Amino acid sequence: MRACCERDLFSTGEASDRMEDGEEVGGTRTGRVVAEICEDRGRGQTGRANQGAQKTATAGTGARIRGKEAGAPRRRRVMSLNSKLRLQAAGFTHASASAMALSDYLVTDDLTILLGLITASVFLLYNLYKPQSLVHPILLGRQSDVGRVRNPGESAVHRNYGTGLMGRFPLRPTREVQTLLDLVKPEYDAPRTLWSTKITNPQLRERAAAFGTGLLRAGLTHDSNVLLLLNDSIEFLITDIALASHSIPSFTLTSPSLLSSVLDNHPPTAIVIDAGFLPNVLELIYDTNELSHHVVIVVGEPDSKALEQAAEQIKLVRWSDIEEEGKRGEKLTSPTPDPNDVFTVSFYEDHNGQLQGAQLSHQNLTAGVTTLRGLLPLSNPLTALDTIVSAYSLSTSFGRAIAYTALYEGTSFATTNSTRLYKNDDVVVPPGLPDLFSTKSLPLPSPTIVFAKPEHLNALTASIISEAEKSLAFSFAWRHKMAGVLDGYITNQSLWDRLVFDGARTKVLGDSASTIRGIVVSGGTLDDHALTPTRIALSIPFVHAHTHPLVTAPRTPDAALAHVGPPTINIEVKLVGVDDAALEKGADPVGHVHVRGPIVGRLLAVSDDAEDGADAAGEEPWVPIGHNARVQTNGSFKVWPVGK
């Protein structure tokens, strides 16, 4: 038995050694096999020993005693090795169980594979087809081209980055357009609607020629000047074109409160007036005691009592009679005006409350039309299918440039009720949406381009968001639209527009919700925090511009004000009165705005802030506009009135 145990012990030791060396051993099974072999051999030895038990009792007893004493260490060694084998086998079994448990998690089926493929596809599509920014960030970081030098106390000269410091300012939309009349292209004979009148360009030119002939036959000459006290209408356009064609300057007022000052300081030769405002003007004319110097041309049917009273003291004729007179016989013509000739003076009140007059030449207006055509994205320019609605009176420089842009492009055109300056009643036009929607009463196609004011934009944005908030998906839609704005991408064709915002826009705008594709806002200050909600609510190209009575187009630029971008393509801007020390430390330039360029008119009365010697040096003078501005790092401007 000892020999058996020794052999077993040897074999067991070898197995243990092999296990320690990394060989695969049966673990618990090995220990069990060793025990069974020892037990079988032990029974065989015991049987043979019993046959001679009596002969060797004493010797056997001694041998067993010695065997116990000598085999005790071996048995302890066997037991120790068996315990070691059991522990190693237990660890091996646990590792096998862990491996099996991990494999259970990897077991899948067709549905899991399908869901995984769908998830991967959605992820790839989202990243591959994610819309790119509409404007590259590099372009947004440098919107103005800045001069390399500056004078003490002044900022450097800023121009639009697209024009550059060495580029020439665009003066006209095409080479053929030199004067105001050229903007009414005779080859375009498609009818369009101006306010409530459907007319073609040849018909408009014919009526303007007839009215101009009638004015010349009524006694007006090139030395005359005509005061236009007309609300926005087709009669205003016809009168303006007729006077400009014969080089007869016209006067316009940005506010009726300036009428008395203009009559006193710049008495006109003739007055073209709306019939409803005639009684107010007659009182002022009587007070000036210059009744014989005025010819009054009335648009519409005046009050019979006022007509009888006026006929006794002044020369009063109807506008329609002048036009009919011009249609008879041969049309009278005049030499073609020079593009630099002044054709109108727009009177306004400056920031000091003084009367100022902006002299505008043909070139000023053609340059203004060129600028306005470039405000909207070039990928979707103005066409004859558009309808322009404006909240700016034709008596202002900006409003007149908008109207002639519509004439040049062949679009339909109208203005809102708030542009009516001359009224015979005290009816107040409600601001905001009622005024913006006032053109719905006219036989116009739905508007596509809107020139609005900040109060219109704020009311429109608030109404659309208020309607959109009624949807249960508003919060999700707002987050996704906001993410698009932050990425520089705006669209009104997304899923969230169809689910939430399209319905809100339709409730507020009606049929115009699907046609308006651009909006330009000017004529006041706009808070910076209002820009993002406006972009989300409207989701169309939106331009925030800064205008001035001296300028026929926007001068696209405190912390709460929204920026107005860079200067437009045909104007340059500098700031006067800046802090040189702050500029040297890297601060943004802040000062009084001075402008010059082909869209800037000349002041009728020289301002105290005008620069001396500019004309003598052969350069165009810089014109102060009475506003302060800050030039931001990216070349955009923030502009506010003096004293704000």
| pLDDT (tens digit per residue) in 186-214 | 998 899 999 999 999 999 999 999 999 99
Return d(Cα 276, Cα 273) in angstroms, integer: 8
What are 529-580's pLDDT values in tens digits? 889 999 999 999 889 888 888 877 765 555 467 888 889 888 999 999 999 9
* Paired tokens of 161: 């980055």
Q: How confident is the model at residue 434 (pLDDT cuts 50, 70, 90)?
A: very high
Which residue has tokens 């902006």? 358
Give the mean pLDDT of 66-95: 49
What ranges do the domains of the chain cover?
2-44+68-99, 181-452
Characterize 137-149 residue by residue with b for buried, 16 or more Cβ atoms within 10 angstroms of its Cβ, and e for exposed: eeeeeebbbbeee
Residue 567 has phi, psi (to 5 degrees) of -60, 155
Residues 6+ apart with CB under 8 A from 453: 391, 521, 522, 523, 524
Residues 6+ away with beta carbon under 8 Å from 366:
171, 172, 173, 177, 178, 179, 180, 182, 183, 339
**pLDDT of res. 143:** 83
Q: Is the pTM of this model over 0.85?
A: no
pLDDT band at 149 (very low <50, low <70, confident <90, very high): confident
**In terms of DSSP bridges, do strands 197-199 and 250-253 run parallel, antiparallel, or are they unpaired?**
unpaired
The whole-chain average pLDDT of the chain stands at: 81
pLDDT of residue 34: 42
Tell me the pLDDT tens digit for each residue of 293-348: 678 899 988 877 777 777 677 788 999 999 999 999 888 999 999 999 999 999 99
Find the mean pLDDT for residues 500-514.
94
61 vs 570, higher pLDDT: 570
Mean pLDDT lowest among 133-142, 353-362, 440-449: 133-142
Classified by CATH at the fold level, domain 181-452 comes out as Rossmann fold (3.40.50)
pLDDT in tens, 254-276: 999 999 899 888 889 999 999 88
Six token digits for residue 576: 């006067």
